Amino acid sequence: MIMILSLVSIAEVYSSTSMLAYKYKGGNTVFYMLRHLGFMALGFTVMFLASHFPYKYYHKLAAPMLWTAVVLLLLTLFTGASTNEARRWFTIPFVGVKFQTSDFAKVALMIYLAKVITKAQESPEALFDGFKKSIIAIGLVCGLILPANFSTAFLIGVASLVVLFMGKMKSKWLLSTIGIAIVAFMLFIAYAKISGIQSRVGTWSKRIETFFSPKDNHGDDFQAQQSKIAIALGGIFGKGPGNSQQRNVLPHPYSDFIFAVIVEEGGLAGAIGIIAVYLIFFYRCIATVKKCETTFPAFLVLGLSLNIILQAVANMLVAVNITPVTGQPLPFVSMGGTSMLFNSFAVGVIVNVSRYAGKQETVEDIEEKTEVEEIEDYPFIAG
């Protein structure tokens, strides 16, 4: 399924970056496609390595990964590169490489939740303790992402709550958490408006107002309107690869609105095909969860796959104007970046769990396993 999405991605990125190439690269239309292929190759390398790294080690790495993510989010919030009043990118010192820390944070959070929920299953007394630890972690990650990227924080929160629900956390705890989160969010908006601090609150409000009252906003719904035009032009079977008209008008047709370009070129048939690929991918992930005999790998796969699927759903809902405009790339299809790399890592972990799902161990077994036994179970490491 990932290979199919990648093949579609190559064609659509090449098609949707033509205007970008003429504007910034002197008409070199293959520049962005080659750059995208480089990210794709790196992503598949990450996926391959992660698929051969024993998932059991993530049980010990969960807490360090989470706290590393929290520190990176803090650094990004205060020192990250600012674009449109949003600090989402952190530049690695001395290297100069920028990456979106929220992509790493959502992976680290799901690994941590898998560990905490596994521990919480040991006794009724441990369940609430696990819930508290989970909510603290979710609150930290989502709270630090929220000021710059509401949609990402929201999607991570939804995925996390689904994982907690599947982890047998009580409904009243989850409902109370949702209520507290809503109140905290409203207080944040009120504080931002009263204090006049630089934030994305104005952008969020404008997008919501535009979505519900497009006729009263005098062209502020330009992105949504152009996306709907692209979808309407696609018809049933589309205009054919490379024949998109709206790619030259749509903002970010290679990332946030690449699904609209896919529908214009592939029509309704192409749209159904892409949706089917994501559904099959998610079905295979659920099949892997059902195959797991212990909870840690099961929750690991569930959390990581939900991150990918919810991001895909968000991108497509925006393209067809069912939800307000927000910036979420289409996983494995939008032009490459840190999102592709960390999603590739997540798929690699899922593949590793799938490969060794029949050799599951308890938490105690994972922690007491000797180095020799680890190597025997995973010949690739020995090689």
179-208, pLDDT tens digit by residue? 999 998 888 888 777 765 656 676 777 777
Which residues, including other chains, have CB under 8 Å from residue 285's CB and lie 6 or more apart?
301, 302, 305, 350
312-327, pLDDT tens digit by residue? 999 999 999 898 888 8
- Domain limits for position 67: 2-382
Instruction: Considering only residues 267 and 149, tell me which one the structure prediction assigns the higher pLDDT.
Output: 267
Element (H or E) spanning 91, and its range? strand 86-91
pTM over 0.75: yes
The answer to whether the Cα torsion of 185, 189, 194, 197 is positive or negative is: positive
Instruction: Considering only residues 168 and 192, tell me which one the structure prediction assigns the higher pLDDT.
Output: 168
- Residue whose C-alpha is closest to residue 381's, from 55, 29, 44, 125: 55
Residue 19 has which token pair?
A: 């205007």
* Pairing label, strands 86-91, 81-83: antiparallel
The CA distance from 58 to 170, in Å, is 26
- Residue whose C-alpha is closest to residue 14's, from 222, 6, 227: 6
The set of long-range contacts for 170-177, using a CB threshold of 8 Å and a minimum separation of 24, is 170/127, 170/131, 173/128, 173/131, 177/135
Average pLDDT, the chain: 86
58-107, pLDDT tens digit by residue? 999 999 999 999 999 998 888 876 665 567 777 777 666 778 899 999 99
Residue 356, pLDDT > 60, answer yes
Q: What letter does residue 96 receive in the DSSP assignment?
A: -
- Residue whose C-alpha is closest to residue 24's, from 14, 16, 32: 32
DSSP labels for 100-120?
Answer: EHHHHHHHHHHHHHHHHHHHH
Q: How far apart, in Å, do the first and last CA atoms of the chain sit? A: 28
**Do residues 113 and 160 touch, judged by C-beta distance below 8 A?**
yes
State which amino acid sits at residue 15.
S
**Domain count of the chain?**
1
pLDDT tier for residue 373 given thresholds of 50, 70 and 90: very low
Residue 371: its pLDDT value, please? 42
212-248, pLDDT tens digit by residue? 776 655 566 788 889 999 999 999 999 999 899 999 9
CA–CA–CA angle 299, 304, 308 (5° rounding): 145
Which residues, including other chains, have CB under 8 Å from residue 200's CB and lie 6 or more apart?
84, 85, 86, 147, 148, 149, 150
87 beta partners: 82
